[in-house]
Structures are given as C-alpha cells and as structure tokens.
Amino acid sequence: MTTHSENVLEVCDLRTHFRTDDGLVKAVDGVSFSVKRGETLGIVGESGSGKSVTCLSAMQLVPRPQAFHPSGEIYFGDTNLLSLPEHEIEKLRGERLAMIFQDPLTSLNPYLTIARQLTEVLEVHRGDTPTAARRTSLEMLERVGIPDAAERIDQYPHQFSGGMRQRVMIAMALLCGPEVLFADEPTTALDVTIQAQILELIKDLQTAIGTAVVLVTHDLGVVAGTTDRVAVMYAGKIVEEGTTAEVFANPLHPYTRGLLESMPRIDTPLQKSLYAIPGLPPDLGNLPTGCPFHPRCEFATDQCRKTYPDRKTISSTHRVSCWEVEVTE
C-alpha cells in the first residue's frame, strides 16, 4: 500500500488486544484514520476508550507479549510501522515520530538530570556535540516557559512541579522537529495561560515544518480551538469523525452529543445542571453485543442491541456509526 502524498500518517483497521488473566481486552478494535502534513487531528472520548493505546501502538510502545495486533497497518509515508524491527523503530522515535506522554512523573528518568535527558535526544538522533545539544535544550526549555532555565536544566525531575515536568516532556518531544507528534493530554497539568502558550508553540512547529499532530484530550474547548478534524472514540472504535466544524455544529452519534452537552457553556443558565451521560463505560473484556453504547443510549433499538452499526457517510469528511442516523442522498 502507498499512502496519498499529503498523508504523513495513515492508520488502517488497527486492532490492539491485550491478553489478561480475565480474558482478552480489545483496547483498540478496528480504528482507521489519516493525518495530513500540518494538520491536527483531535481524538476524544472517555477514559478507557482506547485513545492512548492507539497512539502507543503507532509508537510501538505497547507492552509485549501481552499486547498484540491481530490486524492493522500504520503507514508513516510508505513504511508500515507495525512491520519494523525494534532497532528500526528506535531510529524514528524521538526524531521523526515523537510523543508527549500523559504522566510526566513516570516518563522522566528520576536518576538523570533534565539536561542529560534532553541532550541525549539531540546527540543520538542529530549527532549534536554535547555543547550544541545543551544550548538547543536550554533554548527549548525557555520556549516552553521554564523560569530560570539556565539554572534548572541541571536539576532532577523530583525538583520540578507536575506542570514543570510536563513542560520538560513537551520540550523533549519538540527538540528534533518531528514529522508526527502524538500529544496525549499535553496540557492537563498546566494552568490556562501556559496551556495557551504550549498549544501556540505546537502550532508554530506545524507552521514551520509541517508537523502532523494527533491530539488526545478530554478538553473539548481545546479541540474546538486547535484541531482541524476530530475523531470520537468509544469502546475501542471510532464512532464519529469529521471536520471539527462539522462535528461541533452537527453531532450525529448520541455519544458525541452527550460529550458536547456535558461541556460548560457561557450561555448556560446558572440554575441548570451540566448534562451527564448515564451509566458507565463498558468493560472492554466483556463488551455487550451490538453497539457497545446501547446500554447508555436513550435511542437504542433491538437492532442496536444485536448488530454493530455500519459506518455511514454523511459527507466526504463526515462519517458516523449509528443505526438511528439517516443518510439523505
């Protein structure tokens, strides 16, 4: 398979399953999407819907042999990442493919200084000298808002706050100017001002070198303001996808509507409580038959309970998997 020239990343029918003591867990179950150069794709959904595992699968960071891929391809250009041996994927990780992890405390090595963890990336992937690598690392720390960066660069992760550690992780991911950046809740631990600065920094990177960004977040406000397209995940599958404008203006899947209705709005009356989707996310090791959302859906029918819905094309960019959505020609 050869990807379209404008797509830097193309995921086709990705399935990532885990063998556990309680049985098989289908964390990602038939996910397909593509990202163009300079484009931002937002992936949203409740915790446990498969967002992070999708990104970790592309980076080949899922634990083995517990995790395996019964099917699927992840094309980076013309290269199927799932077919690469470990030493080949290591050459891409950190340089052309980068990821901002959700938990900076466990992602940074507590035994190494911040300086060493940053300079190593540049020395390994770009062949920079220690002096040049330190200079570039210091500049990046300043860009992500680390105060007194020249002094703090030689400190250890435990000497940084959670938000500061997150900024270090972001700096590390951006050092080599990656072609694809997976950002897993990159601004969760940051205040609103720094959040805006970090998102602007990522946007600048896109403008400068055409980086494609896959942004995983629970913050629909961030999705609305920063993404070009959005994919809504539930129980390991994408249930709706489209341009951000389409999905926000015309959400078709009941789950998508529930997510948007649960978001605070400035025009909501003070006396009105925020909407909450009833029930709990399903057990991925014991999914119900049919549409996995049907136990929580007020529109569910017998067909929903028996058969997973076909994917329906609403427009050239808007697709949804729901039996209750009617497609007009």
Q: Please name the residue ranges forming H helices in 127-226.
A: 130-143, 149-152, 162-174, 192-209, 220-226
CA torsion sign for 322, 42, 82, 109 is negative
- What pLDDT shows up at residue 1? 44
* Amino acid (one-letter) located at 329: E
Q: Is 46 exposed, middle or buried (0-12, 13-18, 19+ CB in 10 A)?
A: middle
Torsion of CA 170, 176, 181, 185, to 10 degrees: -10
Q: 95-104, 187-196, 315-324: which range is least confident on average?
A: 187-196
Q: Is the pLDDT of residue 98 over 90?
A: yes
Per-residue confidence band for 274, with pLDDT thresholds at 50, 70 and 90:
confident
Q: Is the pLDDT of residue 2 over 50?
A: no
Q: How far is residue 128's CA from residue 121's CA, in Å, rounded to a whole number? A: 9
Phi-psi region of 246 (alpha: psi -120 to 50; beta: other; left: phi over 0): alpha
* Amino acid (one-letter) located at 198: I
Q: Is the pLDDT of residue 81 over 80?
A: yes
Secondary structure of residue 181 in the 3-state scheme = strand
Structural domains of the chain sorted by starting position, each given as residue range(s) with its CATH number in brackets: 7-96+176-321 (3.40.50.300)
Q: How far is residue 28's CA from residue 78's CA, in Å, rounded to a whole number? A: 23
**Strands lying side by side in the sheet with 79-80:** 23-36, 7-20, 67-76, 79-80
More confident residue, 247 or 189: 247
Which of 217, 317, 198 has the alpha carbon at shortest distance from 263?
217
Q: How far is residue 286's CA from residue 304's CA, in Å, rounded to a whole number? A: 17
Distances in Å between the Cα of 302 and the Cα atoms of 250, 294, 308, 323 are 25, 9, 11, 10
Q: Is 20 exposed, middle or buried (0-12, 13-18, 19+ CB in 10 A)?
A: exposed
- What pLDDT shows up at residue 329? 57
Which of 76, 37, 54 has the alpha carbon at shortest distance from 232?
54
* Segment 162-198, tens digit of pLDDT: 888 888 998 999 899 899 999 998 877 677 887 888 8
Mean pLDDT, to the nearest integer, of 301-328?
92
- What pLDDT shows up at residue 206? 84
What are the two backbone dihedrals, phi and then psi, of residue 57, each rounded to the nearest 5 degrees?
Answer: -65, -40
* Segment 3-54, tens digit of pLDDT: 445 799 999 999 999 999 889 999 999 999 999 999 999 999 998 999 999 9
* Segment 197-228, tens digit of pLDDT: 888 888 887 888 889 999 998 888 889 989 99
Q: How far is residue 11's CA from residue 30's CA, in Å, rounded to a whole number? A: 10
Q: Are strands 180-184 and 212-216 parallel, antiparallel or unpaired?
A: parallel
More confident residue, 2 or 120: 120
Mean pLDDT, to the nearest integer, of 72-87?
92
* Segment 115-156, tens digit of pLDDT: 999 999 999 999 999 999 999 999 999 988 899 999 999 999
- What pLDDT shows up at residue 3? 44
- What pLDDT shows up at residue 188? 75
How much of the chain, in percent, has pLDDT values that exceed 90?
68
